[in-house]
């Protein structure tokens, strides 16, 4: 079985089209999406529709939940772009999925909101180990927008990276898992892809969406792969969320 694990499309349909072409070239028919279809990028409606049409499984990420639950008034652009039917579906995606592949018990999540804060694969072992409870062998997630792999005492932890908002490497990032479905021990193979795509076209798409919240920061991330939203000043562009809640809680919930 050959299975693509993708995540963090974030409204970047130019990146998703490049992904689709590569999955066809790699003869991958099955796609599981670990969430964050929407927000940040220019075309949340189109990435949502692509995922629904092409993915066997879609998990709910922190951005899907933030938008779907109408957490932030500044996100009104996304509500209008998605429309009520897609908005309703966002909150119906499950938060996690379990599978048995090559005899390994696999747990898949987006990251947040199952994780209470953003955890890179380099996070302290004591924070990551509970993800393997009660008896998982492999945990796969996304959320950081950076691919990663780590062998913990509890098992294998991997991160798919991001399709539409790759950080560190500003390309389409995803994983192809090869294994045999079921309990029989067998090879379990992960391939980490970093796929170049037409980032200039993605920038043009973003700049054409007038009113996209923090569109200039998304353009900066597309061009450089350097996270642009971490500064206090960018957090303060959402002032209506700040009274009564520290800036840090806003960052924890919504970023990247
Ligand atoms: Mn994300």
Residue 135, pLDDT > 60, answer: yes
- For the chain, how are helix, strand and coil distributed in percent, rounded to 5? 35, 20, 45
Whether 18 contacts 172, CB under 8 Å: yes
Q: Is the pLDDT of residue 247 over 70?
A: no
- Residues 151-179 have pLDDT tens digits of 999 999 999 999 999 999 999 999 999 99
- If you measure from the C-alpha of residue 64 to the centroid of ligand 1, how many angstroms do you get, rounded to a whole number? 9
Tell me the sheet residues that pair with 108: 97, 140
CA of 183 to the centre of ligand 1 (A): 32
Query: pLDDT tens across 32-74, in order?
Result: 999 999 999 999 999 999 999 999 999 999 999 999 999 998 9
What domains lie within the chain, and their CATH numbers?
Answer: 2-195 (3.60.21.10)
68-124 pLDDT per residue, tens: 999 998 999 999 999 999 999 999 999 999 999 999 999 999 999 999 999 999 999
CA of 150 to the centre of ligand 1 (A): 20
pTM, 2 dp: 0.90
Residues less than 5 Å from ion ligand 1, measured at CB: 8, 36
Q: How many angstroms separate the alpha carbon of residue 89 from the centre of ligand 1?
A: 18
Radius of gyration over every alpha carbon of the chain, rounded to an integer in angstroms: 17
User: Rounded to the nearest whole angstrom, what is the distance from the C-alpha of residue 137 to the centroid of ligand 1?
Assistant: 24
Inform me whether the pLDDT recorded for 13 exceeds 80: yes
pLDDT at 229: 87
Q: What are phi and psi of 10, to 5 degrees?
A: 50, 45
> pLDDT tier at 250 (50, 70, 90 boundaries)?
very low
Per-residue pLDDT band at 233 (split at 50, 70, 90): very low
CA of 161 to the centre of ligand 1 (A): 9
Calpha distance 223→200 (Å, rounded):
8
Q: Can you list the alpha helix ranges (DSSP code H) found in 26-92? A: 44-54, 62-68, 76-90
- Smallest CA-to-CA distance from 17 within 35, 43, 39 is with 43
Angstrom distance (rounded) from CA 70 to CA 79: 8
């Amino acid at each position: 079985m050959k299975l693509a694990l993708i995540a963090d499309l974030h409204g970047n349909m130019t990146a998703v089209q490049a992904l689709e072409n590569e999955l066809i070239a790699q003869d991958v028919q099955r796609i599981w999406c670990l969430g964050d279809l929407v927000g940040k990028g220019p075309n949340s409606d189109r990435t949502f529709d692509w995922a629904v049409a092409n993915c066997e499984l879609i998990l709910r990420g922190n951005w899907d939940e933030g938008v779907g639950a109408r957490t932030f008034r500044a996100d009104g652009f996304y509500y209008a772009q998605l429309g009520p039917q897609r908005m309703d579906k966002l909150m119906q995606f499950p938060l996690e999925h379990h599978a048995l592949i090559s005899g390994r018990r696999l747990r898949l999540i987006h990251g947040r909101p199952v994780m209470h804060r953003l955890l890179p694969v380099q996070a302290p072992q004591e924070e990551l180990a509970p993800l393997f409870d009660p008896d998982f062998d492999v945990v796969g997630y996304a959320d950081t927008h950076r691919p990663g792999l780590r062998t913990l005492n509890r098992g294998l932890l991997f991160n798919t990276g991001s399709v539409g908002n790759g950080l560190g490497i500003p390309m389409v990032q995803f994983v192809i898992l090869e294994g045999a479905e079921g309990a029989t021990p067998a090879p379990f193979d992960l391939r980490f892809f970093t796929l170049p795509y037409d980032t200039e076209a993605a920038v043009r798409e973003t700049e054409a969406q007038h009113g996209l919240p923090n569109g200039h920061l998304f353009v900066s991330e597309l061009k450089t792969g350097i996270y642009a939203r971490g500064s206090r000043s960018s957090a303060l562009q959402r002032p209506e969320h700040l009274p009564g809640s520290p800036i840090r809680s806003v960052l924890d919930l919504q970023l990247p």
